[in-house]
Amino acid sequence: MAITDSIVYDVWTNADPAQLTEIQLEIFRQWSVFATGGMALNGKIIKNPGGRYARSLRMESGGLNHVGIIADESIAPEAHFIEGGHDEVDMKKYLTPGKSYPLHYGGGAAARGVFGAPRAGGQYMTGFARMGPNSKPGSWIIPAMPAYAPGRALAEAAAKMGGGGTVSW
C-alpha cells in the first residue's frame, strides 16, 4: 500500500480471513486509545493529546492476509516524530537574535489578562523570549526525542496474533 505523506506498516499474516477482522479491530482500538492518551505503548504515553494524531490513524485491508496500519502525516505531521523520533535541534540556527518570540500557550489563572486575549479553547500566552547574542550554551536546544513507534509495535503484534507473519514499512 503505497500512500504518500503517510507512515505505512504492511502486515501479512497467516490468520484466517474471519479472524483478521477481529485482529484489525483490536489493533485499531489499542492505537486509538494510545493516540488519545489513554494507555502506554512501548512504555510511552502521549501526555497532552490534541486529537489530530488520533484522526490521522486508519487501517486498510489489501487482500485475504494483508493489513495496512497507517498514520496520515497530511492530517497530523507529528505522526512522523511519534513514529520515528528526532535528533537534537539547536534553535539558534533558526531564530533571529534580538527578535521577540511568543512562548507556548497554556491555561491557568496566572496567565489570564496578563498577556492579552485568549486563543481558542481558553488558552493564554505565557510570555515572550528573546534570544540574545550571549545566550547560555544549550539554552535554545530542543533535546532529542526517541521514537515511540506505536504503529510498528502494533503491526508486529498483529502479525503475532495472526499466527505469525511479516511486517514491512
The three cell numbers of residue 43 are: 512504555
The three cell numbers of residue 94 are: 533558526
- Helix extents (H) in the chain: 17-35, 52-55, 79-84, 150-161
Residue scoring higher pLDDT (88 or 126): 88
Q: What pLDDT does 32 receive? A: 94
Split at pLDDT 50, 70, 90, the class of 126 is low
Residue 155: how many other CB atoms lie within 10 Å: 24
Residue scoring higher pLDDT (56 or 12): 56
- Helix extents (H) in 56-166: 79-84, 150-161
Mean pLDDT across the stretch 136-150?
86
CA angle 162, 164, 166 (to 5 degrees): 105
The answer to which of 1-5, 41-45, 56-60 has the lowest mean pLDDT is 1-5
Q: What pLDDT does 3 receive? A: 44
Q: What pLDDT does 40 receive? A: 93
Mean pLDDT across the stretch 46-66?
86
pTM attached to this predicted model: 0.69
Phi, psi of 139 (to 5 degrees): -75, -15
Q: What pLDDT does 111 receive? A: 43
**pLDDT digit string (tens) for 59-109?**
888 777 888 889 999 999 999 999 999 999 988 888 888 888 877 655 554
The span from the CA of 153 to the CA of 156, in Å, is 5
Nearest one of 33, 32, 40, 39 to 56, comparing CA atoms: 32
The three cell numbers of residue 127 are: 510570555
Helices vs. strands in the chain: H and E counts, helices first: 4, 10
Q: What pLDDT does 102 receive? A: 78
The answer to which of 37-41, 97-101, 129-133 has the lowest mean pLDDT is 129-133
| Average pLDDT of the chain, as a whole number | 81
Cell 485491508 -> residue: 61
Q: What pLDDT does 23 receive? A: 87
In percent, the amount of the chain with pLDDT more than 90 equals 27
